[in-house]
Amino acid sequence: MNCVRRIKDDLLYVGGSDRRLAKFENLFPLPKGVSYNSYLLLDDKTVLMDTVDLAIAELFFENLAFGLAGRPLDYVIVQHMEPDHAATLVRLLEKHPETTVVCSAMAEKMIGQFFGPIEGLKVHVVADGDVLDIGHRELLFSSAQMVHWPEVIVTYDPKYRALFSADAFGTFGALGGNLYADELDFNKDWLYEARRYYANIVGKYGTQVKTLLSKIEDCDLDFIFSLHGPIWRKNTRWFIDLYHRWADCEPEEQGVLIVYGSIYGHTQNAAEALAARLADRGAHVALYDASVTDVGDLLAESWRYSHIVIACSTYNAGIFPAVENYLLDLHAHAFHGRTMAVLENGSWAPFAGNLIRRHLNEMKDIKLVEPFINVRSALRPEQAEDLDKLAEVLWPVKQTVATSTTHTAPLQQETPLVDPNALFKVSYGLFVLSAREGKQDNGCIINAVNQITNMPNRLTVAVNKLNHTHDMIVKTGMFNISVLTRSVDFSVFKRFGYQSGRDVNKFEDFEGSYARSENGLTYLTKTCNAYIACKVVGTHDYQTHTLFVAELTEAKIIDKELSVTYDDYFDHIKPKPKPTEKSVRGFRCKICGYIYEGDTLPPDYICPLCKHGAADFEPVGFDSPAEKKQKGFRCKICGYIYEGDTLPADYICPVCKHPASDFEPII
């Protein structure tokens, strides 16, 4: 039974997958199998994009016959002659003697090398920039030499703005029903295999990959059809950008890869002791035993991380073989551009370290850092200091997650250096953050949205724990962000910012002003220029707020109007506070205008409307004639009055936390 998949009316997937092959190229383990993609264009002419590996020949020919439905096959474009794609070429030509082979001059030569003379062979040789008219479009060919062999060409279909990319953008892994990358959890289930494929198969040819990328730079590609792995029909830019990074051998992640070769476990122990110290400093650490990890995995992980440590026993007066194999693989793939360190072990003649460093010195842009750690048989307690030092050199900035509420710095020293008003100079946007729990929709106003990475696209939002939306996100792990525009009305802020979802349904009487994204959550459709749907991938506790780290699941621009800023809100949107009645004496929230009546604002006071703290309140009504007669000291920062004849030298303003030096006597 055929397994043809219809991509477009005139474009079919006729390839298949192999889940039995143990090793690709008899070298790279295939725990998840591999696909051999082949595509059939049905224009006025019929065109096949590459054949497949012998392993799936039966299915492929059944697919092809079904796809052609009795039509002749006019062309087979041989983009790549490696047998995983071309092994079935002769059988194809036997079945379809009418077919003309379209390929590069070098591929034509290779056909002869692989198959010998083929009776009646018709070849149409194409070079960079050549086109082939197939009826309703002209296919454009481009050389992609050394991606991954020298004869490779890629093909551009202008009708679908599609690149048939040969091995480029390929990945290990069998396809099982879902053909498209956007149907899969690519980052979780495929990225590792895509990186492993890139590093091992194409990684050596970064310069040639860059040449190919420069050729497609101006094409706004809607599709990428690789010969291996899923089809890209969304977010092609993301994968192209990742390819740029891989081609430059730039690390994808800040983190430390430790590869060790250990005979009886002592070198492993040293590697683990270093890993623990790095982890304590906040580094992400990936630790591998070279003896039990395929070298292709080690190569791919090397491509991934910014720092690498090689810990190795001396063996036969040389480098432990599994580690030496890893080093040779790095060499063979022109690996470069990392910060690296070496730890060696040797019981009587430790040679491994120097030999490893010699290897590394021959690679481009390798920064070798000290101390160089020499273990004699087993790590000694007095070497802990060297391990600490190496961990610090590799990961100098200690990163911690602020979960503690303890202030270790004395307030008196800290406060004069921090003017909280400076934070108002930071430019913010304003957003409706929406969530859904069960059947309840809710939302609140936030300003702290930041994109932190783009591969993958991740952002953070900081949400006050008092907000009902906060609790809903904690429970569901999902939220949407609606980016508000300059024409947003104050009523939106009142609806989402001045009442609690615990008390009211904020979406009641709001029909026509919102819609739902694929995740079922709401987003605003008016005075909103974009919405972003997110899945939480991490949380950090910051006392009053939770910082949610999230990955994007959907994002769309829905309007061209500019985004509103925090300043716009204060200058043009938020109604100016009405002059305060002389009789009202208290503290006004600078954010929403709420007035707390009383002479003293509790330092831990939270605005019941907008949930901002005491620092965002300003005194009102203290300028009455009666007040002027008051004895005491006024805080020059926030206006708070300390009543009394003498201000204690260590006094701290209970509202803005400024010290006695910021107070002035009331005259």
Return residues touching ligand FEO (CB under 6 A): 80, 82, 84-85, 148, 167, 227-228
- Which residue's CB is nearer to ligand FEO, number 83 or number 613? 83
Largest CA distance in the chain: 112
Q: Output the smallest distance, CB 149 to ligand FEO, in A.
A: 6
Q: Output the smallest distance, CB 106 to ligand FEO, in A.
A: 14
Q: Output the smallest distance, CB 163 to ligand FEO, in A.
A: 16
Phi-psi region of 112 (alpha: psi -120 to 50; beta: other; left: phi over 0): alpha
- Which residue's CB is nearer to ligand FEO, number 29 or number 135? 29
Comparing CA positions, the residue from 137, 130, 183 lying closest to residue 7 is 183
Q: Output the smallest distance, CB 131 to ligand FEO, in A.
A: 25
- Which residue's CB is nearer to ligand FEO, number 148 or number 307? 148
Q: Output the smallest distance, CB 34 to ligand FEO, in A.
A: 9
- Which residue's CB is nearer to ligand FEO, number 79 or number 262? 79
Residues 6+ apart with CB under 8 A from 149: 80, 81, 82
Looking at this protein, which amino acid is placed at residue 20?
R
Residues 6+ apart with CB under 8 A from 193: 32, 171, 172, 173, 229
Q: Output the smallest distance, CB 49 to ligand FEO, in A.
A: 13
- Which residue's CB is nearer to ligand FEO, number 5 or number 80? 80
Please give the DSSP secondary-structure letter assigned to residue 508: T
Per-residue tokens: 434: 């929406």
Q: Which residue has the tokens 């999902």?
A: 478
- Which residue's CB is nearer to ligand FEO, number 63 or number 200? 200
Contact predicate 576/561, CB 8 Å: no
Q: Output the smallest distance, CB 85 to ligand FEO, in A.
A: 6
CB-based burial of residue 38 (10 Å sphere; 0-12 exposed, 13-18 middle, 19+ buried)? buried
- Which residue's CB is nearer to ligand FEO, number 148 or number 233? 148
Phi-psi region of 154 (alpha: psi -120 to 50; beta: other; left: phi over 0): beta
Q: Output the smallest distance, CB 87 to ligand FEO, in A.
A: 11
- Which residue's CB is nearer to ligand FEO, number 15 or number 261? 15
Q: Output the smallest distance, CB 515 to ligand FEO, in A.
A: 43
Q: Rounded to the nearest 5 degrees, what angle is found at the Cα of 567, between the Cα atoms of 542 and 659? A: 55
Residue 162 to residue 13: CA distance in whole angstroms: 14
| For helices 321-332 and 352-361, angle between their N-to-C axes, nearest 10 degrees | 10
Q: How far is CA 60 from CA 50, 169, 484, in A?
A: 11, 22, 52
Comparing CA positions, the residue from 484, 442, 480 lying closest to residue 461 is 480
Residue 269 to residue 144: CA distance in whole angstroms: 46
Nearest residue to the partner ligand FEO, using Cβ? 82
Per-residue tokens: 303: 């491509």
Q: Which long-range contacts (CB under 8 A, 24 or more apart) does 399-405 make?
A: 399/281, 399/282, 399/283, 400/282, 401/540, 401/541, 402/540, 402/541, 402/542, 402/543, 403/540, 403/541, 405/543
Looking at this protein, which amino acid is placed at residue 128?
D
Q: Output the smallest distance, CB 450 to ligand FEO, in A.
A: 40
- Which residue's CB is nearer to ligand FEO, number 85 or number 658? 85
Q: Output the smallest distance, CB 197 to ligand FEO, in A.
A: 9
Contact predicate 554/519, CB 8 Å: yes
Residues 6+ apart with CB under 8 A from 391: 274, 277, 278, 280, 281, 283
Residue 280 to residue 388: CA distance in whole angstroms: 10
- Which residue's CB is nearer to ligand FEO, number 227 or number 589? 227
Q: How far apart are the first and last CA of the chain?
A: 96
- Which residue's CB is nearer to ligand FEO, number 114 or number 498? 114
- Which residue's CB is nearer to ligand FEO, number 82 or number 324? 82
Strand partners, 123: 101
Please give the DSSP secondary-structure letter assigned to residue 420: G
- Which residue's CB is nearer to ligand FEO, number 226 or number 485? 226
Q: Output the smallest distance, CB 80 to ligand FEO, in A.
A: 6
Q: Output the smallest distance, CB 223 to ligand FEO, in A.
A: 19
Contact predicate 259/326, CB 8 Å: yes
Work out whether strand 318-319 and strand 305-315 pair parallel, antiparallel, or are unpaired. Answer: antiparallel
Q: Output the smallest distance, CB 79 to ligand FEO, in A.
A: 10
Q: Which residue has the tokens 């003379």?
A: 117
- For residue 99, the tally of other CB atoms under 10 A from its CB is 20
- Which residue's CB is nearer to ligand FEO, number 147 or number 249? 147
- Which residue's CB is nearer to ligand FEO, number 243 or number 663? 243
Q: Output the smallest distance, CB 84 to ligand FEO, in A.
A: 4
